[in-house]
Structure 1
């Protein structure tokens, strides 16, 4: 087993925590959307859940390859809103947090000469950036539509 900088292990744990937080948030929001009768958006959020679970699995696998037991320190509380527009805004904030953390982790790994982990974080950063762009596009389309599309059942 290779020696890994403790800070790299910290980044792995923090990103795992955020990915699992995203899983929990998207799963909850998918259920909420289904309750509101918005099956299409619920299905899309379920797909987001799967994508975030895949990222979490990759993080777990990387931790195991490095010889450490996976440990997510703390999940963020789920954020909910009164409509799809609000849910998307909240999810963009969470995605931005992931994007920034992956970028920071990749930069740190480059700084210490850990190219393998830098590439690992860079790949996840790229995927999260794409995901963030898709959410921003969805929000822009929704925002450009009639006001009735932004209004949903409230809880």
Structure 2
């Protein structure tokens, strides 16, 4: 079971990184839109959606 726990710990670490990226991209998207950089804001928003999909895959794997 120790090997399994180490794998889950690694996946949880990867999930933490993905969730952080989601927050960063989403916040940047809103800031860019507020500043009038709509094209860049849209790109950041798309990146946040991509990170959400990565996080979803990790969550499915962990559970």
Task: Determine if the TM-score, normalized by the shorter chain, exceeds 0.5.
Answer: yes
* RMSD of equivalent CA atoms: 1.1
Query: In the alignment, is residue 34 of structure 1 matched against residue 33 of structure 2?
Result: yes
Structure 1 or 2: more helix by fraction: 2
The aligned counterpart of 1:61 is 60
Show the 5 A alignment for 1:44-83.
44-64=43-63
TM-score, length-scaled by structure 1: 0.39
1:6 positional shift: 1.6
CA distance in 2, matches of 1:5, 1:15: 15
In the TM superposition, what whole-angstrom CA distance separates every residue of 1:2-28 from its partner, at most 9, and x where no partner exists? Answer: x55221111110010110000000000
In the TM superposition, what whole-angstrom CA distance separates every residue of 1:46-76 from its partner, at most 9, and x where no partner exists? Answer: 0000000000000000011xxxxxxxxxxxx
TM-score, length-scaled by structure 2: 0.92
1:35 positional shift: 1.0
- 2:36 partner SS: coil
Number of residues paired by the alignment?
62
- 2:26 partner SS: helix
CA distance in 2, matches of 1:7, 1:41: 38
- 1:5 partner SS: helix
- List gaps (5 residues or longer) in structure 1: 65-155
- List gaps (5 residues or longer) in structure 2: none
